[in-house]
Amino acid sequence: MKISYGIIGWLLLAITANAAVKLPQLVSNGMVLQRNTPLKIWGWANPGEEITLTFKHKTYRTKTGENKQWMIVIAPQLAGGPYTMQINKIELRDLLIGDVWLCSGQSNMEAMMGRANIKATYPQVIAQSNYPQIRQFTVKRAMKFNPTGDVGSDKGWVSVNPETVLDFSAVAYFFARELHTKYKIPIGIINSSVGGTPIQSWVNSESLKGLPAYDTVAQKLKDTTLVAQILKAHQLKTEAWYKSIKEDDLGVIQKWHLATAPPGTDWQQIIDLAKLDQQVKLPKYGSMWFKTTVNIPGHLAAEAAILSLGMMHTEDETYLNGQKIGSINSGYTDRNYVIKAGSLKAGENEITIRLTSPTTGMSFNPKNTYQVKFNNDSIVLNNPWKFKFGIEKDLLPKGNGLSLHSPTAYYYAMIKPLANYRIKGMVWYQGESNIPRPEEYYNLLTSLINLWRKDWQQVSLPFLYVQLPNYSATGIEPVVSHWALLREAQAKAVKIPHTAMVVTHDIGEKEDLHPRNKLDVGKRLSLAAQKIAYGENIVSSGPLYRSISIAGKEIHVTFDHVGGGLIAKGQALKGFTISADGKNFIPAQAKIIGKQVAVSNAGVSKPVAVRYAWADSPDDANLYNQEGLPASSFKSN
């Protein structure tokens, strides 16, 4: 019995010791480790605990410090795998060695291959995405305002196949695929991005010292007690908001989804749901009900079908003849609800939509089509819609009561804890949320680049970033373009060593902030990486403004990165404007002369300044180099 108790005690001690060893989320099964550099493997355990790590037949040892942290540095490794790693009793399997890229930013980086407009654009790409050596680690969205030890992740490291690719950042996937195909090595993506976030939420408080409006907030949010109070208050407000939506909505009380016709005479009518804002001052929060009818011929009434409604920028509940057939809480997912055989009837059928919006306001995508689709037929919903508010509510703030724009919120939670993990470089796609104040962006971007490089202890770490695409929902180009000003701020940062900027104002969508073309963004980023990170002797950038010279009535513009030469896509070079006073600009004629562009207007005898592609959506800009890469927008003054 003594021996048995002794064995049991020893086993319990061993289990306790093993349980005390904790690894960060990144250090897990399926991880991709950075080649050709010393590798840091770290974690936590009880003070003084011995840590033994075995990798590729070599053993490393250390002891946990009094702060409960330990770290082991592994010698540089060549690309390859799969391998296993043993850390005390923990075995990590299916490890690869290749290149790892941190991909961060806001919604256009976060946008997944499964997003409706992207998925619809690349069905064949998705079907053929079998790349087990391309892997993504998605950092779980979180806010912190003080240093924290680790990030969260729902799935850890995931390799690409036609199912999993739907959860990959589309930009990051296409970027990784290009590099993997060219260099034949494993590529790891650390996707740490959050839609709607400005750049100031991705830096630390020290980076905001020159911007008192942000710094004041950042200093206040270091108070953990204050943050806890804000979170609790928001929790209570959220519970009350949804309780009211459930219990006080007139449509719920009167069961509007069951009515064969809208009760009363105070329902409004609309033909085109995309023009809702023309009849109702938006945004509105709370709930709205929409009703229409569709006539089904007798020969189709018994068939199964799909109710196709497109995207709604909020949460919906959709009913057919009083029966709920679907609900989605996303502004970027097409509604394609299954109608079971027998649910339709010959003649008039009623469709009811209830929209609920706590934060984003209620609207319908202008590109939506509304129809009932059968196997070999379809019926367009072309009858008018009637609509009415169920209940109007106040806005429920996003971000757990802490704004998505809160300074430092995502740096401490989603960037700093990653810094021990060795990487090849960084990719940044962000800027839309800083449009209102473009004059701040250059300093903030410079601070971010320097801060992140300092965190990774690599002053020359490659930093690639995407310049904002073309966008203008109104279609009216402003005299003062904040989009162009922010692009200018982004272009200035190219002067920072080991950085590269990708121009995209030719591949966005004027009416969609989240353009579907992520393939060309990924390809252009790959070219930038090949030049900056891999040392390839290639043309990786479109023309970038260098200087001007004035020759009589003409301004001659000189560019860097002309590659094999300047070209105009189309019959004539467009997108240039000229000024006699540096303030008022008018359209100009432009022609390519060697590696320069000569710009003039017959009505301007003494020009002083020139602009190119200077608009929210510079649709006519068509200056490229021979390699097919677009010139960045600029102003000479």
- Reported as a pLDDT band with limits 50, 70 and 90, residue 263 is low
The model's pTM is 0.88
pLDDT of residue 18: 47
* pLDDT per residue as tens digits for the range 596-616: 999 999 999 999 999 999 999
State the pLDDT confidence band at 473, using cuts at 50, 70 and 90: low
Q: Is the pLDDT of residue 404 over 80?
A: no
Q: 607 Cβ partners below 8 Å, 6+ apart?
A: 550, 553, 554, 555, 578, 579, 580, 599, 600, 601
Rounded CA-CA distance 65/486 in Å is 46
Neighbours of 158 (CB within 10 A): 20
| 241 closest CA partner among 315, 322, 291, 313 | 315
Q: What does the alpha-carbon distance between residue 100 and residue 285 come to, in Å, rounded to a whole number?
A: 42
Q: What are 178-183's contacts with CB under 8 Å, separation 24+?
A: 178/522, 178/523, 178/525, 178/526, 179/99, 179/526, 179/529, 179/530, 180/131, 180/133, 180/134, 182/526, 182/530, 183/99, 183/534
pLDDT at 371: 96
* pLDDT at residue 410 greater than cutoff 90: yes
Residues 117 and 516: beta-carbon distance below 8 Å: yes
Whether residue 236 is predicted with pLDDT greater than 60 in this model: the reply is: yes
Grouping H, G, I as helix, E, B as strand and the rest as coil, residue 77 is coil
- pLDDT-based confidence at residue 627 (cuts at 50, 70, 90): very high
- Flag whether pLDDT at 425 surpasses 70: yes
Overall average pLDDT of the 518-523 stretch:
98
Model confidence at 66: pLDDT above 70: yes
Between 588 and 478, the more confident residue is 588
pLDDT score of 477 more than 80? no
374: which 2 tokens? 């059968």
pLDDT at position 366, please?
85
- CA geometry: angle 452, 453, 454, nearest 5 deg: 90
| Model confidence band, residue 65 (pLDDT cutoffs 50, 70, 90) | very high
Q: How far apart are CA 112 and CA 142, in angstroms?
A: 18
Position 12 scores a pLDDT of: 41
Tell me the pLDDT tens digit for each residue of 101-118: 999 999 999 999 999 889
pLDDT in the model for residue 411: 97
pLDDT digits (tens, 9 = 90+) for 364-399: 988 899 999 999 999 999 999 999 999 999 988 777
pLDDT digits (tens, 9 = 90+) for 195-234: 989 999 999 999 999 899 899 999 999 999 999 998 898 8
What number is the average pLDDT over the span 482-498? 97
What is the enclosing helix (H) or strand (E) of 492? helix 482-492
What pairing do the DSSP bridges indicate for beta strands 609-612 and 589-593? Answer: unpaired
Distance CA 433, CA 524 (A): 23
Res 4: pLDDT: 42
- Specify whether the CB–CB gap between 302 and 282 falls below 8 A: no
More confident residue, 558 or 403: 558
Higher-pLDDT residue of 561, 12: 561
pLDDT value, residue 136: 98
> Mean pLDDT over all residues of the chain?
92
